[in-house]
Each structure stands twice: as structure tokens, then as C-alpha cells.
Structure 1
Amino acid sequence: MRDLPETATEIASLVTSGTIRVGDALARSLHRVARDNPGLNAIIRLNPQASAEVTAVHHRLQAGELLPLAGVPVVIKDNLWVAGLAITQGSQLFADFVAPTDAVAVARLRAAGAIILGIGATSEFACIGVTNTQLYGMTRNPIDPSLTPGGSSGGPSAAVAAGFAPLALGTDAGGSTRRPPAHVGVIGFKPSQDLVPYGPGFEEPVWGISVICPIARNMVDIALAMRVLTGQSLMSQIARPALAYAAHFGLDQPLDADVARVTDSAVDRLRRAGYPVETAAPVWPEGSGRADVAPLQWAGLAALYGAAFRHDPSRFGDGIADQIMRGLGLRGVEVAQAHQASHRMGETLRAFLGRHPFVITPTTPCPAWPVEDVAPRFIGGLAASPRDHAAFTSQANHAGSPAISLPCGHTSTGLPLGLQIMAAPGADAALLALAQDVAPMLAGQG
């Protein structure tokens, strides 16, 4: 294939100037997908209309339109509607569903000249921490295919890391577009709640915590994607602010030794670059932990799919079946207690961010684990519970806060790790500006 730039920003610039053709980047993407996707299963469906989209973008450019994503191939997660394509949520229940319209976020990418390359795999209903489903099988990590990219945005994250596309859209209701990017060495940005319109699309198990997120290999493309998705420039110039470093995020959560080493090294690098860093962590009230909010998802899944589960449980994977059964067995008071836990979690983090505008944590307490396992068996040398790998991400969802995962180094065996930065709700521009400054300092360190 001809030598082309790897970033969305450069591709669009060269297409707009006429230096390369609208379809050149798509052709390269299709070549890479044909070569490498069979071993990864990151993309579960190519867009049969992609060539027609290239032609349409060409005509729009000829007519003088300014298209900030002209000719840029993008991957869309398999729970976001793309008009005319099968979108399944990784579920056998929706194996034949064809989206009747675009989600607003997808429509905005198209309006900016992006070409939909295909659909990236997700875990079933985007509610499992690995991207393994009965419908499509296992999605593998491009860094080491014996490992998982995590979930639920494992397919889009793996597709970007594998070079299939420079940009993807995922969703994040508990860290699903931060943890997988950390496991494959790319960037995932979770905006403030409702900054990017959500829908039209599928019903959510838990309303008010899921957001649509860009995934890319560099901050310039993240900023470009957010400009397209929101219709506003979110980059700002800020002085180097004080940062709070919470290695364990105020939780009794062990870290793998490599995670502790690499994260400490990354934070030391920020100190040497002139960032004031204070060790500080939220104090979480009793009854505001991950286990306390889990019944919200169980109840939501049971409300949406309980009847279908009773009719034919074989159409559900074991992990979702377990959650639905738990949800069907909940009492109303238990769901109410979970709502209260969500409120306490969000309130605690927002209050902390009112005192410390940016807080740094590891994105995950461990690197990627074997693809056959639904969760790591051990973290920090201790037996791990099924959601320990997600210890540091769901709090931002319940607070409505923006958060970003940046590559910050590698384990001793070469696996990528991520550093997470959170900010107060609405502080997306400041967080993006901070991430733009620190990302080059962090990349490849450790």
C-alpha cells in the first residue's frame, strides 16, 4: 500500500488538499483488516456501503464543503446505531437487527466526511469486562493475541491499536472506553455526561451513566473527534496545574508490581516537568463501592431482557445470564439502595474534584490477562474478584466527570499500561489541554 499518514488529522488534511484520494486511507484499512483481523476478531462487520460513502465525500469536497474528517476511516462499536447496518450489542437476541437510523454521534462523523469502515466487537449488551460473546467469539489483543483487550469496547480499541482505523467510537458506562485502550496502548476519552448526545439507539440498562467516547492513538485526533462530536472546540491553554495522585484511589485495591512501578515513574516524570503533584485520594463513604452499585445493572438487564431470558436462556452468555438472574431476584429496596450508593459515589468524587481539579490513578490495577478468562485471576499477587480490574473507572461515570486514559509505559514483559486522569464535570476542555501536554511525556515510559 502507498505510504499514508496514520493520523485522522493528517489524512483529512491531505484529502482536503487533493494530495491523496478520498478512498486511499479506506483501501489501506481494508488491506490491513483482511490481513490481520482474522487473528484478532476486532471488527465483526465491514460496511458494504463504504465505497459509496467515499464517492459521496468526493462530491462534497468538489462542491467546496469543508470536511474535518474527509476520507478518515472510523470504526463504530456494535451497540451504536449505524443506519442500514446490523448492530447487535453482541447478543443473539439482536442478531438480525438493522439500525433504522444513525446515532447522532455517528451522523456527526459522517457529516464531517468520515467513512464508516465497519463495526467493532463489544461484549454482550456492553456489560462484561471482556469482549467474548456467543455470537462472535473472542476478540484478541493486537499486542499479544493470547490476551484480551478487555471490554466492553474491546473491538474498537483493538481496531485502532492494530492500525485498522485511526479513530473509533466506543461507549463507557463504567470504564469501557478507558480500560481497553489501556490494555492495547491507545487513548480513550470519556467526556462529561451528556456532552456528546447519546442515541437514538438501544435502551440502556442504567440510564444517566453511559457516554459515547472517541478512541485514537494521539491527542490531536481525540481533540478533532471531540470538536466534530460536540460542534465546539474543547481545547484550551492552561498553566501546569496541581495534580492529585491517588495510586489506589482511596480503595483497598492491590496493584500489580509493574502497575505501581510504571505509574509512579509516570508521575515522577510529570513532577520533573514542573507539575505540582500532591498525594491525595477521596475518602469513600461506606456503601458507595463497586459492589453497592452493581444491582443497578442487574436490575436494568432484568427489566429489559428478563422475559426473553425466561423464554429461552440459551440465547444469553453465562455472564449476562447470571446478571439477569440476580436482577430478577432483587427486591425494590435493594435497587433503591444501589441508587443511593450511586449518588454517594458521585457526590464524593465531585467534592474531591472541587478541592483537587485533577486526580491521577492507574487506569487499571493490572495489564491484560488471558483471553479465555472473564477476569484476571490474581492482581498484586492476591486472588482477584471479578471486577477488581475495573476498580478505578466507574466512579467517574456516577459523578458525570470526564476522564481519560493515556499510555504511560509497559510491564516488564512489554504489555501496555494506562494512566487515568479525571476532572470535574464540565471541565472537558481543561482535561483535554492537560492530556495534550502530558501525553508525550508519558508515552513509552516505565
Structure 2
Amino acid sequence: MKILVLNSGSSSLKYQLFEMPNEIPLCSGLVDRIGLENSTLTHNFHRNGEKEVFKIEGNIQDHEEGLLAVNKLLLDPEKGVISSVDEVVAIGHRVVHGGEQFASTTLITKEVKDKIKELFALAPLHNPPNFIGITVAERVFPNAQQIAVFDTAFHQSMPPRAYRYAIPKELYTDFGIRAYGFHGTSHLYVSKKAIEYLNNPDAKIITIHLGNGSSMTAIKGGQSIDHSMGLGPMGGLVMGTRSGDIDPSIIFHLINERGFKAKEVNDILNKKSGLLGLCGLSDMRDVKKAMEEGNQDAILAYELYAYRIQKYIGTFTASLNGLDAIVFTAGIGENDPDMREAVCKNMDFFGISLDKSKNKIKSSDIREVNEKESKVKILVIPTNEELEIGKQAFALINKPQNQ
């Protein structure tokens, strides 16, 4: 059974086609830097038993253009892995915000799509491209079952003291104003891997997902008990273009005293802040290049990014009442040893001690980068949100009808 997984991020699109239930990846790829200069599409596939890579460089304006290019490659006589769209039985879609309505993997219907659209305002950088992925996939794969896997679902285990805000109760009961949590598929996947690695089902773990969007989760016994993001995926850590945590009075000051409109402030905090706001660059690779050239704004952005992570480690260690391991994952977390070093610097009180030589070693496997005497394990675990989505999609379509 072939299951295609689409993972539309704020500036990227990952995809994988799996042969299930054997979890064999037939092809995978990444459309990167969508909407930015020098967009790329990297397509990995197997031919005659050998892995081959095909790369396109250009200017991919939006997610729809990227998705159509991916679909064309899947059917390509030389580079593709299917001869007909009907070979794909199901498509698993990553959907960032599911509100309280979706606590599990869901078959996509018109009603589900309508609800995803209703939640655009809470995840403006994500639910719209997620929705585009669904609508394009419905056109290209008309006979495949479309399935949504929600980032918010993993965090439904958070207790009220973690997800409620100290605001009038009716704002929660009437409008659902609460913290939902995001990147749940990634946090779930790497936490399961960490628990297996530690051989401790009750492990107290902090997972640190660092990419264009970044978040952290406190996990105890395999369940999310607290998370850095809130109502939408704007709060918490500094991100590529998102502000992370700010004093809410800033919003009212800009509107009431400086004449900004609410939509303008929303755009600033979502699309013009974070690394971009601090130094004019949203991609961490570009920030590091600017740092090497002595750009002081880039240096500050890098330091501030790491410092915010350190603050949340302290907060979540208190929430967990202890700490067995921290896990770095996603694009920056897995591939930037300098950021891992910056985060772990001066964290001796928490029992976090990084081995600089281990930290520099590149690997696609789970690895420890802590010193031998470190009380807390420092793990680098490559995330595989697509595989987790594929597994959940497969489980849903093969679920007995009476369950």
C-alpha cells in the first residue's frame, strides 16, 4: 500500500512516499526557501537499486507551485516512482492547528476542511499552506483517501494549569482561547525515540524542535505536559520571522499610541519579526554567514535565539521536577552544532555538560553529544514527521470499523 505524506511548513514542503506497512520510503524530497530567492526542489529516489538525487533551482513563489512540481516528479518516467496516481491509496497531510475539535488523526471531509479554514487566523503561516496541500492533492489524486494529522493533537495531554490563560473563563469556554501546542508530530516522534534509547518509559525529557518555526515540549512518561507555543504558533522561542514571546502591552502601544492597525501588527509579529526583525535575515544559514562577516545584528540575533531556549529549559525542568535528557531535532537542532553549544553553555547547574568534540560529529543516527559525567543526556535525534504521519494514516485506514 502506497501512502504519500505532505508536510507543508511556513517556507518549505517536505514529502515522502512510503510502501506500508513495511515503512519503506520509495522517494522523498524537499522544496526549500519557498517565496525566497534561490528556491530549491531536491528529489531523492531509487533507480536500479541505487539512490539518486535530482535537484531543481529556481524561484518557487508559493506552496501550490511547489506541490505541482512535486506531483510532476512523482509521475516522471525516469525520476518518478509511480506510473499512475491511482497507486497512491492515501495521502497524509500535516495540519498545524486542529483546535480542541481534533485530538486524533482524521479522515478529511468537507466539514474538516471548513474547520481547518476557520483556524487560519490562529496559524496564518501554516494552516493556509496545509489547506493548499489538501486541495491540490484532491485534484491530482482524486481516488486517494485524504487524512489529516494535527500538530496540536499530541499536546491534548497538557493539564489545565499548563494550557489555560489567566483571563476571564468565558474566553476559554466560549471561544476556546487556550494554549494548544504545535510541532506535535515531531515532538511525539523524537520523544518516542528518546524513550527507547534511554530505556526508560517514565523519562523526563525536553524536546527542542528548531527550524524556521521552533518550539519546545516538556514530556513526562511519553506525554506532553507543557509547551512553549500557545493559542497559535507565534509565541515561545524566537523563530525565522515570528517574534516568540513578547509583552502583550507592546501590541496595544503600537495600535493605540503609534497608529498601527491590528492587521499590521499581526503581520509584523508573524512575518517581519524573529531573526528577520533582529538582523534582516530569516534563514539561520544566512544569519551564520553574516556573523562570520562580523555583522553585529546577526550576532545578537544568534545569541538571543539561544538564550530564549535556555530560559525554557529552566522553566520546563521546574515543570518536570527533574530532567533526564534534552533532545535537539529539526533543521537547526540537528545540523547546527554551534547552536547546540550556545544553548548548553553555562547550564552546569542543570547537569547539562556538552562534549564539544562529539557535538561536531555529523551523523544521521541518534547520538549523544554530552560529556560522560553529564547528569543530563544531550541527544541529537533526526525527526521524521513524515514517517509518523504515514504510520498514523495507515493505522486510520486499517482501523476496524467497530472501533
TM norm structure 1: 0.26
More strand by share: 2
